[in-house]
Structure 1
Amino acid sequence: MKPIDALLQVLREEGVTKVFGNPGTTELAFLDSLVEAADIDYVLGVHESAVVAMADGYARATRRPAFVSLHIAAGLANGLVGLLNASRSRTPLVVTAGQQDRRHLAQDPMLSGDLVGLGRAAVKQVFDVQHAHDLPILLRRAFLRAVQPPAGPVLLTLPMDLPAEDADVELPARSVVAPLGPASDISQAAEVLRTAQRPAIIAGDGVGRSDAVAELVTVAEALGASVYHQPLYDGIDFPTEHPLYEGMLPGTHAGIRDQLAGHDVVFIVGCHAFMPHHYTPGSPIPQGVRVVQLDSDLAELGRNFPVAPGLAGDIRTTLVELAKQLPTAPEGRARAIGARTAARRAEMDASALARYGSAPLDPLAAAHALAAGLPENAVVVEEAITTGVLLRQVLRQSRPGSYIHTIGGGLGSGIGMAVGTRMGLGTRPVVAALGDGCTLFGLQGLWSAARHGVPVTFVVLRNGEYRTLKETLDGWGSRTTHTGQYPGLDLGQLEFTKAADFFGVDAVRISSAEQLRQVVAAAGHRDGPLLVDVPISGHRAEGRA
């Protein structure tokens, strides 16, 4: 079997039906082979940031590693933001980056570069393929490594002359690896949780990735525990409409510590050490609070604070076994939490409805109208920064996979991720909530949405500024707060409907909160992409008009 044939066969056996890429000369042999591979589609993106974002969304939707083809050092560099996001969000990707022809690589030809050094910091592992007979086994190994906890992207460098080499290579069979089982010492954890008087649970993104939401609900109800999402969570790790759900933790150690101060035991499940955004001194765990931690990644246990006990094992099956050892909690505990969360949600909804009106919309009203209009089975892809935080407070979602974000922090993923998500889901409507700054970073993704006819509703919440940075500066009490001047933080009121028209995407500008709700409600009936331009009110420094 020739190297290029072995490559295609491995892709087929690993379940790959789509290749996400932006090609160059180093990928020509691969592209040529796809002419006779009708079962593998090439999904073209016009910038690597959109390419990797599409693959990220597709991998999450299909629950399988996505395959990405990048071109040389420059293409890999353009895709690094997406790879960093995928690493943080634990998304399994298998990525190839083309290298120059080995026969003159020592001469430092045009397009060559240090692909291994460039990619190493952004992925789990790099395989530098130098021999044709190594390609099949290293590609097999890459698919395995991509899904092993913690999951993430894996990179293979591939010299352009190697796939077309006239060599006979062996194709290793696909390995079938048994999943992790339940953790040990479950009884010790159950004893700590049983005796808690004011227990809390932190639902991390490992819960959603492990399909363990229902099992965590069972444990929470048995304990009568308050449940919090980790800061800036990537998905539905606990139903946000559940009476025990108390919202998302803030992004600082001080804020988390304040939130957890009323609890005596905290159960942290599938959470990468809270990942705070802004620095504040001290531990996120209040003094005297005991921590029980569960994760499929042994390296997470006790990583930043002491835990007793720390459980390493499959999250879902461990929660199943743990629930068997927990008694029913006192009814009054859950009832008190439910009353508190119901009152908080009613207050938030009333505040949002009171702000409904004409454009520019109040950010909370815009977030509420978007949430209120969502079709029942819709998926929200969120990259809206400040308005996204408000959106999390008004969304009521229970179905796992209904909310997608990236905690990686690399802007511009939202458009591409929404396109890839819709491709992977098949029929569920996808609504992308995007800030205007994030939209500008990933605008090229609209080309792929139009070219491939992907029916995503892109809602651009446009305030004409980097609002989150202005609010952060105000929190510091900086000179910008007093002068009202924010150098480098204003975008202006851009015409996103014109940008949509350039890419061949239909667009509509919103004039009221009710119109936004109606447009979003029709998301499930579209046969092509739509950009929704939503003017929202901008930042105002405290004390200024």
Structure 2
Amino acid sequence: MAPPNGPVFVAVPWEFMMRSIKADDRIQGITQISPHFTGDPLAIEQAASMLAQAKNPIIIAGDAVGYSNAWSELQELADLLGAPVLLQTFSSMANFPNDDFHWQGELPGSQAGVQEVFKEHDVAFLCGFGVQAQVTVFKHSDGPLIPSTVKQIYLTNNTWDIGKNYYGEAAIFGDIKATLPLINNLVRQNRPAEATSRNKKLLCLDTERRKHWQQYLEQALLQDEIWAVVIAQALREAIQEQKLEKKFVYVHEAVSDPAPFQYLLPLDTQSSAPISYYCVAGGSLGWSMPGSLGIKLESQGWQGIETRLVVNVIGDGSSLFYPQTWWTAAHRQLGVLYIITNNQEYHTLQLGLQQVIDAYGSSEGYGWKPKTNDPEYLRIEKPQLDFVALAKAFGGQEGEIVKSPQDVGIAVRRGIEYVLSTQRSYILDMRTAQATPTPPSTDIETFQVSARYLTQPPLNFFHCHTANEKTGIFGSVANVAIIP
């Protein structure tokens, strides 16, 4: 399909479905418009000049980068500039390889977080950037997400995403994979002198990030409950042991624990492609279980990725939207490894409520506070759910409950072996909390944060390292009580 791609409604009169069609009673063919068109040369020159002269450039990789399979082209530009690369929030796919030292994870999901990322940069290259305002709460009085001091350059194949929210000083309408080499060639001719030192800094920060994540993993292995980093590492090891790097798709709806999976899974140039990772832009809940069946139905992906192993990691709350998926999986003999990160609450919605309270509860002119900061409908308890029994009832699917981090690796391997050998689904109920967590406090001074979140290193080391050097901590939450 030619861009802009998206849902299309086709209405066919019902009597047409009853008409007998003869073997040669069909149209001659389908005209396909090539999507590989390049942008305007003058706009390309303007953008390349701005990038080459930037003192502190940043690149935002949106979904159009992943869909156009333009990893290598964007990697080259990041290296020419010495620029950090962040993915748009809730990226639909892996829009930049996570083994490249320019990679800094996704943009934050808060207004202040996005502002913090952009504030020190003078030029932002918004490449295929579609989800431009994916934040839980936006207050106009707190200022724009991208400060006016940042010059913006757009490149994408959809006019809707150019200047959608903010003024762009340069805008290129063109296919990303075809147009990026033209920009790169011009930047290379006038490469900024500071690029080498910026790359050296990013490489050092990448080394530090790896060390901190390894320490975090070691800490997680000593806990009573299961932290997501242990699951992500076990998946990575099993995929590599089975040599499934080009034969897996990870379907992501672990909304409370995205970072470990985005960082540790082999989503890199040697092992996978953008479509090896699949999420949904916008943050809708419950979509991934039925979505994983659609992915599994197609044995060969269009970027050279097979779907021999489809892994869906989803929170316990989200999995309750479409549990009937397990009946369809059994009925159609579709083998998917389902991993439930079970914290016994709608944790993401609890955090969203807290953000609303923080934004409006004490702000002048609002004075809003909820009746309770612990709605009973956000807690999954009394009675406690048995997801393995639920899957068995929906179609005889097998599975197991995993309670200890020491048991995660063998359980993941057992699940993968079962799925590959039987072509039936397997459910792993990973207890990321042994009991329903303590309700959060409305008082930010005493707001409790689980140790696994407070001690988790950032993916975006580039923008966090200055604050870390001053404070010696990685979290952005101050004055909190750690729940052991």
User: Shorter-chain TM-score: which interval?
Assistant: 0.7 to 0.9
Alignment of 1:159-174 (within 5 A): 159-165=13-19, 171=27, 173-174=29-30
- Distance in 2 between the 1:383 and 1:273 partners? 17
Are positions 1:201 and 2:50 aligned together? no
- Distance in 2 between the 1:507 and 1:260 partners? 45
Q: Which deviations, in whole Å up to 9, do the C-alpha atoms of 1:463-487 show, x marking residues without a partner?
A: 1211112122333256999976323
Alignment of 1:428-467 (within 5 A): 428-467=308-347
Residue 363 of structure 1 deviates from its aligned partner by 4.2
Alignment of 1:9-408 (within 5 A): 147-165=1-19, 171=27, 173-184=29-40, 185-278=43-136, 279-281=138-140, 282-327=143-188, 328=191, 330-357=195-222, 360-375=225-240, 376-377=244-245, 378-398=248-268, 399-400=272-273, 401-408=275-282
**RMSD of aligned residue pairs (Cα, Å):** 2.6
Q: Secondary structure at the match of 1:161?
A: helix
Determine if contact 2:230/2:408 at 8 Å carries over to the other structure.
no
Determine if contact 2:388/2:399 at 8 Å carries over to the other structure.
yes
- Distance in 2 between the 1:326 and 1:257 partners? 27
Determine if contact 1:382/1:404 at 8 Å carries over to the other structure.
yes
- AA aligned to 2:315 is G
- Distance in 2 between the 1:480 and 1:363 partners? 32
- AA aligned to 1:285 is I
Q: Which deviations, in whole Å up to 9, do the C-alpha atoms of 1:28-79 show, x marking residues without a partner?
A: xxxxxxxxxxxxxxxxxxxxxxxxxxxxxxxxxxxxxxxxxxxxxxxxxxxx
Q: Secondary structure at the match of 1:509?
A: strand
Determine if contact 1:366/1:536 at 8 Å carries over to the other structure.
no
Q: Secondary structure at the match of 2:412?
A: helix
Residue 350 of structure 1 deviates from its aligned partner by 1.4
- AA aligned to 1:290 is K
Residue of 398, 412, 416 corresponding to 1:506: 398
Residue of 379, 387, 392 corresponding to 1:496: 387
Q: Secondary structure at the match of 2:314?
A: strand
Determine if contact 1:431/1:520 at 8 Å carries over to the other structure.
no
* TM-score normalised by L of structure 1: 0.68
Distance 1:321 1:425, change over 3 A: farther
Determine if contact 1:236/1:397 at 8 Å carries over to the other structure.
yes
Determine if contact 2:37/2:179 at 8 Å carries over to the other structure.
yes
Q: Secondary structure at the match of 1:360?
A: coil
Q: Secondary structure at the match of 2:252?
A: strand
Determine if contact 1:273/1:303 at 8 Å carries over to the other structure.
no
Residue 370 of structure 1 deviates from its aligned partner by 4.1
- Distance in 1 between the 2:282 and 2:370 partners? 29
Determine if contact 1:473/1:480 at 8 Å carries over to the other structure.
no
- Distance in 2 between the 1:260 and 1:165 partners? 59
Gaps of 5+ in 1: 1-146
Distance 1:495 1:214, change over 3 A: same
Q: Secondary structure at the match of 2:164?
A: coil
Distance 1:514 1:215, change over 3 A: farther
Are positions 1:410 and 2:306 aligned together? no
- Distance in 2 between the 1:444 and 1:460 partners? 15
Distance 1:163 1:344, change over 3 A: same
Residue 208 of structure 1 deviates from its aligned partner by 0.5
- Distance in 1 between the 2:261 and 2:101 partners? 18
* TM-score normalised by L of structure 2: 0.76
Residue 189 of structure 1 deviates from its aligned partner by 0.9
Determine if contact 2:315/2:341 at 8 Å carries over to the other structure.
yes
How many residues align structurally?
399
Task: State, as a whole percentage, how many aligned pairs show the same letter.
Answer: 26
Residue of 423, 427, 430 corresponding to 1:531: 427
Distance 1:374 1:438, change over 3 A: farther
Q: Decide which moves more: 261-270 or 485-494.
A: 485-494
